[in-house]
Amino acid sequence: MLAPMLHVLPLTTIVRERVLPVAGKVNARVNQRVNPTDVIAEANFAREHVLLDVARTFGVSAIAADKMIKVNTGDRLTEGALVAEKSGMFARTIKAPRAGRVMVAGGGQVLMEVGDTRIELRAGLPGMVTQVIAERGVVIRTAGALVQGVWGNGRIDNGLLVRLLQKPDDILSADQLDVSLRGSVILGGHVRDVETLKAAAELPVRGLVISSLLSSLIIPAYQMRYPILVLDGFGAMPMNSAAFKLLTTNDKREATVNAEHFDRYSGNRPEVIIPLPISTEPDEPSSYQAFSVGQTVRMRRPPNAGMIGAISNLRPGLSMLPSGLRARAADVKLENGETVMVPLVNLEVVG
């Protein structure tokens, strides 16, 4: 049976696509080395549109209205600019209600996009541009440590990783966040109150990487302007030992926190990338493997959710679980020495 992977890797090659949500201009070129804050692409995005119904306003047919329209597709108009004019004894005009661009003119109507918003896409991670995706963005290749999580608030930033937890089950609280942490990426444990999120925002920090979050804090977490990455889940869950060991040993290193949403169809998931110098490029991680004895695995569900162990035996056929369900299962030796039977669908391979 094939196993999904959870990447917790001390050194690997990381290839990431960074693209605009709408078509725009790509500033980077192939083989260009980029820093996290470099603007690699930009776009103007109109959030609103205005439809001017010339035919209806003038009370004429669409064909007649088209002859009265004075603008063309692509024209940039200032507020009050003439859009259409009806001459004669009862001359009338239609003017642009807001500044914007004509998207389409015809059929007796003019559609304008207004309320331009400029989007700047930053590289997010340091590395080499290996591909330019026309009008959208780039593919960046880098090497470093990679730790994936399970939830993110949709933001990305980078800064110095500062460790604020000593044990995997530590709690991160507001009183731990002082001004010396301004601009840092905080590595913390479980967050159980909104005050902690607010205190981090006030500094501000460049990111929070935490073991777990109360589900009641999901909405406030979305409102924070810095990335929040949850490694293990919701409720009071300790940090899994693989992530704990790797991240705590990278204290005071530059880290990129890409707290994007976990999209189970595209495979994009929130992650921490810690760029590292290399002499030879390491392999790219595989996205799935077949289950096999010896693999390091993470338990996804109770009773040992979040714990790391090693597969000691793949059971043949279907096994009866304590719940009464029958499923393919493995014996997993946990780090505390205990061996437990776990259904394969409740495991992910760490690597």
Partner 1 sequence: MPASLVQNESILAIDVGAAVTRAVMFDVVEGQYRFVASGQAPSTAEAPFKDIGIGVREAIINLQNIMGTTLLGPQDNNLIAPSQPDGTGVDAVVATLSAGPTVKTVVVGLLSDVSVQSARRLAESTYSRVVETLDLSDHRRPDQQMDSIVRSRPDLVVLAGGTDGGASRSIQKMLEAVGLACYLMPMEKRPMILYAGNQKLANDVQEMLGGHAGKLQISYNVRPSLDTEDLAPASFELASLVIKLRQRQIKGIEELNLWAAGNVLPTAYARGRMIRFLSKLYESTRGLLSVNVGAAATSVAAGFAGELTLGVYPQFGLGENLAGILQHTEIEDILRWLQLDIAPNTLREYLFQKSLYPSAIPATVDEQAIMHAIARQALYLSVRTAQRDFPASAHAAGTDLMPPLDLILGGGGALSDGTSLGQSLLLLLDGIQPVGIMPVLLDQNNLLPLLGAASSRNHYLPVQVIESGAFIGLGTVVSVIAAATYGDQVLRAKLAYSDGTEARAEVKFGGLEILPLPTGESARLSLQPLRRADAGLGPGKSGTVTVTGGALGVIIDARGRPLRLPGDPVRRRELIKKWHYTVGG
Query: Residue numbers of the site for partner 1 (CB under 8 A)?
Result: 1-2, 4-5, 22-23, 47-51, 53, 103-104, 111, 150-151, 214-216, 218, 233-237, 262-268, 287-288, 300-303, 305, 321-327, 342-343, 345-346
* In the complex, least distance from residue 279 CB atom to partner 1, rounded to whole angstroms: 29
* In the complex, least distance from residue 300 CB atom to partner 1, rounded to whole angstroms: 5
* In the complex, least distance from residue 38 CB atom to partner 1, rounded to whole angstroms: 25
Based on CB atoms, which residue is closest to partner 1, 249 or 286?
286
| Upstream peptide bond of 303 is cis (omega within 30 degrees of 0) | yes
Based on CB atoms, which residue is closest to partner 1, 163 or 192?
192
* In the complex, least distance from residue 107 CB atom to partner 1, rounded to whole angstroms: 9
* In the complex, least distance from residue 104 CB atom to partner 1, rounded to whole angstroms: 7
* Distances in whole angstroms, Cα of residue 234 to Cα of each of 107, 151, 286, 305: 53, 9, 27, 11
* In the complex, least distance from residue 266 CB atom to partner 1, rounded to whole angstroms: 6
* In the complex, least distance from residue 191 CB atom to partner 1, rounded to whole angstroms: 13
- Structure-token match 């946990």, residue found: 334
**Helices then strands, each counted (H, E), the chain:** 5, 28
User: φ, ψ for residue 247 (rounded to 5)?
Assistant: -75, -40
Based on CB atoms, which residue is closest to partner 1, 56 or 182?
56
* Nearest partner of 188 among 207, 203, 204, judged by Cα: 207
Q: Which two tokens stand for residue 131?
A: 């591909």
Based on CB atoms, which residue is closest to partner 1, 16 or 300?
300
Give the C-alpha separation, 269 to 242, whole Å. Answer: 17
Based on CB atoms, which residue is closest to partner 1, 161 or 242?
242
DSSP 304: S
Based on CB atoms, which residue is closest to partner 1, 279 or 323?
323
Q: What angle do CA 124, 128, 134 make, to 5 degrees?
A: 80
Give the C-alpha separation, 196 to 101, whole Å. Answer: 44
Give the C-alpha separation, 168 to 231, whole Å. Answer: 11
Q: What angle do CA 27, 74, 91 make, to 5 degrees?
A: 155
CA atoms within a 13 Å half-sphere pointing along the CA-CB vector of 255: 35
User: Which amino acid is residue 351, in one-letter code?
Assistant: G
Based on CB atoms, which residue is closest to partner 1, 267 or 337?
267
Based on CB atoms, which residue is closest to partner 1, 163 or 328?
328
DSSP 3: E
* In the complex, least distance from residue 178 CB atom to partner 1, rounded to whole angstroms: 30
